[in-house]
Structure 1
Amino acid sequence: MAASDRRTATLALAHALSAAERGLPVFPLSPSKLPALPSPHRHDPEPVRCRGECGRPGHGVHDATTDATGVRALFALAPWATGYGIACGRPPHHLIGVDLDTEPAALRHLARVHGFTIPGTTTVLTPSGGRHLWLAGPPGLAVPNSAGRLAPGIDIRGSGGYLAGPGSVTARGAYRLAPGTASLPPAPCPPALLRLLVPPPRPPAPPRSPARARRPEPHREGEGLVRFVLAARVGRRNTRLFWAACRAYENGIGDALADALTDAAVRTGLTAHEARATIASAARLTAPTGAGPPRAR
């Protein structure tokens, strides 16, 4: 390992330990912003939906810990890690990440329309020119992950999701704290915004006759995600498949779209086993805590 790589890895561990001291559960990230440790189930003949119950590391956000000894052990297993992820939705902060692609104009518009104020809070500037706002959610409420549901350019990282922590270095650059926010704790999420993030449950649908109860064909719901995977170039195939699978599971069509995504990935050059393992990892990482199997930007 080159001296610069060792320095980056050492700094990543130092930043992760600092975050853990603040009560933020962390785990190592690779330069692609994906979990640095491979799944221990990647060679299993069938996808395994394990969130760490097996006791082995390599379960992404489910490895996250605030224990300094545990953090050091995870980074020792991943000396190539250049950053760290912060698990959202976990005590004591119950972090909600508001991931903005650019300046927060869209969020300010939502605030005006729905009557809430964007609080001063920890803010992380991303290499792509966006920012992450850290908000604290109430205990016992699982905020779902979403991409663009509130408005274009606004993604939400909630239970089962994660954010790249400040000080992380990725292939596109470094994440850093916005000036003046380093000493701010995650501000409580405004109630009006929280209602947007956790909409009330839909009333149960009335029973339908068998003739009308057919499920929409999954390829129609996710054809854009399949095309996204098919367009992957060498070196980006697994990353694109993982991103598309996360979006599919966040929108409730992951299981229905898994075969189509696998076929698309195989057509780009991945093996069926590699594709199924990546999709299973996306399912684990996007699943709400306690609700079964779910990147920071």
Structure 2
Amino acid sequence: MALYEQSLLLASWGLPVFPLKFGAKTPAIQNFSSRASRSPAAIRNMWFPPMEDSPAPFNIGIATGNGLFVVDIDDKNGKEGSATWAALEALHGAAPPTFTVKTPSGGRHLYFRVDPSVWIPNSAGKLGIGIDIRGDGGYVVGPGSVLNGRQYVREPS
């Protein structure tokens, strides 16, 4: 599935999307957190250059906050986030099944919903080594996106 179509699918699932530079994690637009959208018309305006009939090649960003946060489990650069996550689940119980994306480096993004009035800040390593939280004002790279020739892939539920 092409990245533009994937962005529309993610938006139909209630995820606010915006374009990232292709092959990168960097937003391709300014003010991504306020411009991320679930609206097909708004997404088309972000993906299609003026006067063009085909979408620009972008990766997909998913804005977090406003009731959506992502647990980013990193297994790279000496971080063993999966081991940290397993230890947290052993102490506190397993996390509920959720939308999960495998990252090119072997990590995972676990998506969770909370009441939109609950403010969840971004953090790095506060829950343990290799565990980051993407909350209000943050974002993650969406499934289908490509980094270093490898794809972010949605895991079966």
TM-score normalised by the shorter chain: which range applies?
0.7 to 0.9
Q: Does 1:139 align with 2:130?
A: no
For 1:32, the equivalent position in structure 2 comes to 24
Q: Matched residues in 1 for 2:122 and 2:71: separation? A: 10
For 1:106, the equivalent position in structure 2 comes to 84
Shift of the alpha carbon at 1:138?
Answer: 2.0
Shift of the alpha carbon at 1:111?
Answer: 2.4
Q: Is the 8 A contact 1:108 1:118 kept in 2?
A: no
SS at match of 1:149: coil
Q: Matched residues in 1 for 2:149 and 2:90: separation? A: 33
Higher relative contact order structure (alpha carbons within 8 Å, sequence separation ≥ 6): 2
Q: Does 1:23 align with 2:1?
A: no
Structure 1 vs Structure 2 CA RMSD:
1.7
Q: Matched residues in 1 for 2:24 and 2:62: separation? A: 15
Larger Rg belongs to: 1
User: Percent identity between the aligned chains?
Assistant: 40
Q: How many residues align?
A: 146
Q: Matched residues in 2 for 1:73 and 1:62: separation? A: 15
Deviations 1:174-205 (A, max 9, x none): 10011x22xxxxxxxxxxxxxxxxxxxxxxxx
Deviations 1:98-121 (A, max 9, x none): 0001262211212233x2322211
For 1:221, the equivalent position in structure 2 comes to none
Q: What TM-score, normalized by structure 2, do the two folds share?
A: 0.85
Deviations 1:150-180 (A, max 9, x none): 11100100011111111112235210011x2
For 1:155, the equivalent position in structure 2 comes to 132
**Higher share in strand:** 2
Deviations 1:227-272 (A, max 9, x none): xxxxxxxxxxxxxxxxxxxxxxxxxxxxxxxxxxxxxxxxxxxxxx
SS at match of 2:3: helix
Match of 1:74 among 22, 37, 46: 46
The runs of at least 4 aligned residues of structure 1 exceeding 4 Å deviation read: none
Q: Is the 8 A contact 2:72 2:109 kept in 1?
A: yes
For 2:35, the equivalent position in structure 1 comes to 63
Question: Unaligned stretches of 5+ in structure 2?
Answer: 50-54, 76-80
For 1:201, the equivalent position in structure 2 comes to none
**Equivalent residues in 2 for 1:282-297, closer than 5 Å:** none
Deviations 1:5-29 (A, max 9, x none): xxxxx81111000011111110001
